[in-house]
Amino acid sequence: MSSDAAATEAAPQSGAAPFSRYEFLLAFKYLRARRKHGGVTLISIISFVGIMLAVAALISVMSVMNGFRHELLTRLLGVQPHIYVTVPVDQAETSLTLADRIRELEGVRQAGPVATGQALVTSGRSATFASVSGVRPEDLARFDLITGAHGAENAGGGLVSGSIAQFGEGRHGGDIIIMGTVMANQLGVGVGDQVRLISPQGANTALGMTPRSKSYTIGGLLSVGVQDLDQILIYMPLEQAALFFNKSAQGDYIDVRIANPDAPEPVMEAIRAIAPQGSVMFDWRRQNQAFWNALQVERVAMRLILSIIVAIAAMNIISGLVMLVKNKTRDIAILRTMGASQGSIMRIFLISGAAVGVLGTLGGLVLGLLIVVGIGPIQDFVSWASGVNVFDPSVYSLYRLPARLDWGEVGFVTFWGFFTALIATLAPSWRAGRIDPVEALRYE
């Protein structure tokens, strides 16, 4: 069927409503160009593939970014307080009772005193530095990395071997420590082995301060899921940490874990109401302000850059529509003489261009979701095919490439793909509607 016949078959009805059936019929008919107009079809295919790949890339990259953020924060907050509370030195004895009162507040899952210090750890084979945290046994038992709560197990963290049953209990329980798995591998030790801790904060003598050292037994190996933390982490009973580092028996601060770490302000207000005058408190975002700001800036920057790529891919629609309008000038003139309005002609080409954008966006949505769901096998295949570990944990601090779908992000990407495709079709469609049928037929 010729173009003239197609136009006659789908002749507009007088007073037809916008986006009527004949407009859709002509729009999709024009997309299936004959061989002599094959360039239009080729450009339409290129536009479809470009939008599909751009949308899929945007969904995949944003999901990986969300996965990094979730995994890092989950693991980081598994070992780090959500809220730090420090009481004045002259009221340090109130720390224990204050921790119990904080634990009873709404939204608080756990609260307890912590004493921290730095130490050199030796095993006879090797030595490394460690960040030591002294906690009460009952507080350690409530940590997400121990209980597996709030996705800690799914995040790849937890007690890999051993147990905390003897941690701080009995005569020898005070000599039990929990160590990170990477540190244990570096030292060549395991559960039941002994290591020696050396602290520069030793006893004061007539000759000055002398380093303090003591042997401890490894009661369990803990994996946070972040290599940098597994390399330096040690937990020991609070009383032992206070003695070893010459700290107060009440600890350095109160470690508060809450149900919603992303919104700590309500809990902090409640703590201020019961804390002694002069107490200082801040949340994990202030403690890791540079890290938090970097995550936010990187997320916004990547979204902006990839959104521009989607817009660039949508610009191919303009080329296709310009060629289509040029090839269909005679058809446009015939339709105008048969009663089609300028708006109807504009809508026909608007539908043609938007169809490419909508189908490309939907294809990219499906492809992006498949990539996110199969990110693990894809990583393994690329590593196998290239012979290179494409996700080295010593560089990225995570053992697997994470990906986490945020349906709000997916909705934004889908809307952006539709929107850019629609904007790209406006100029050529408007030009098609402005064609003068008399002039078009005269020079045809």
Burial of 386: CB neighbours in 10 Å, binned 0-12, 13-18, 19+ = exposed
Express each pLDDT in 101-124 by its tens digit.
999 999 998 899 999 999 999 988
What does the pLDDT average to over 157-166? 81
Tokens standing for 409?
């992000």
* CB distance 173 to 144 below 8 Å: no
Judge whether 415 and 361 are in contact, CB under 8 Å: no
Angle between helices 375-386 and 38-79 (to 10 degrees): 100
Q: Between 395 and 388, name the one with better pLDDT.
A: 388
Q: Mapping DSSP to helix (H, G, I), strand (E, B) and coil, where does residue 398 land?
A: strand
Beta-carbon contacts of 290 under 8 Å, excluding residues fewer than 6 positions away, are none
Average of pLDDT values for 317-328? 81
Q: Determine phi and psi for 30, rounding to 5 degrees.
A: -70, -30
By CB atoms closer than 10 A (0-12, 13-18, 19+), residue 104 is exposed
Of 177 and 36, which is predicted with more confidence? 177
Report the pLDDT value the prediction gives residue 39, as an integer from 0 to 100: 60
pLDDT > 60? residue 336: yes
Q: Is 140 exposed, middle or buried (0-12, 13-18, 19+ CB in 10 A)?
A: buried
Rounded to the nearest 5 percent, the helix, strand and coil shares of the chain are 55, 20, 25
Name the pTM for this structure: 0.66
The predicted pLDDT at position 119 comes to 92
Lowest mean pLDDT among 142-146, 200-204, 278-282: 200-204
Q: Which residue has the higher pLDDT, 4 or 108?
A: 108
The confidence score (pLDDT) of residue 37 equals 53
d(CA 254, CA 102): 9
Largest Cα separation within the chain, whole Å, is 111
pLDDT at residue 267 greater than cutoff 90: yes
Q: What is the average pLDDT score of the chain?
A: 81
pLDDT in tens, 269-308: 999 999 888 889 998 888 777 777 777 788 788 888 888 8
pLDDT tens string 416-431: 988 998 888 888 888 8
- Burial of residue 198 (number of CB atoms within 10 Å: 0-12, 13-18, 19+): middle
How many CB atoms are closer than 10 A to CB 26?
Answer: 28
Beta carbons within 8 Å of 91's beta carbon, 6+ residues apart: 276, 278
Q: 41 or 300: which carries more pLDDT confidence?
A: 300
pLDDT over threshold 70, residue 375: yes
Using the predicted structure, report yes or no on whether residue 151 has a pLDDT greater than 70: no
Percent of the chain with pLDDT over 90: 18
Mean pLDDT value across residues 51-55 = 90
- 326 pLDDT band (50/70/90 cuts)? confident
Q: Of 350, 247, 339, whose CA–CA distance to 26 is shortest? A: 350
How confident is the model at residue 227, as a pLDDT?
Answer: 76
Q: How confident is the model at residue 310 (pLDDT cuts 50, 70, 90)?
A: confident
pLDDT at 235 over 80: yes
pLDDT at 176 over 50: yes
pLDDT, position 100 = 87
User: Which helix or strand (DSSP H or E) is residue 111 part of?
Assistant: strand 108-122
- Whether residue 353 contacts residue 421, with contact meaning beta carbons closer than 8 Å, is answered with yes
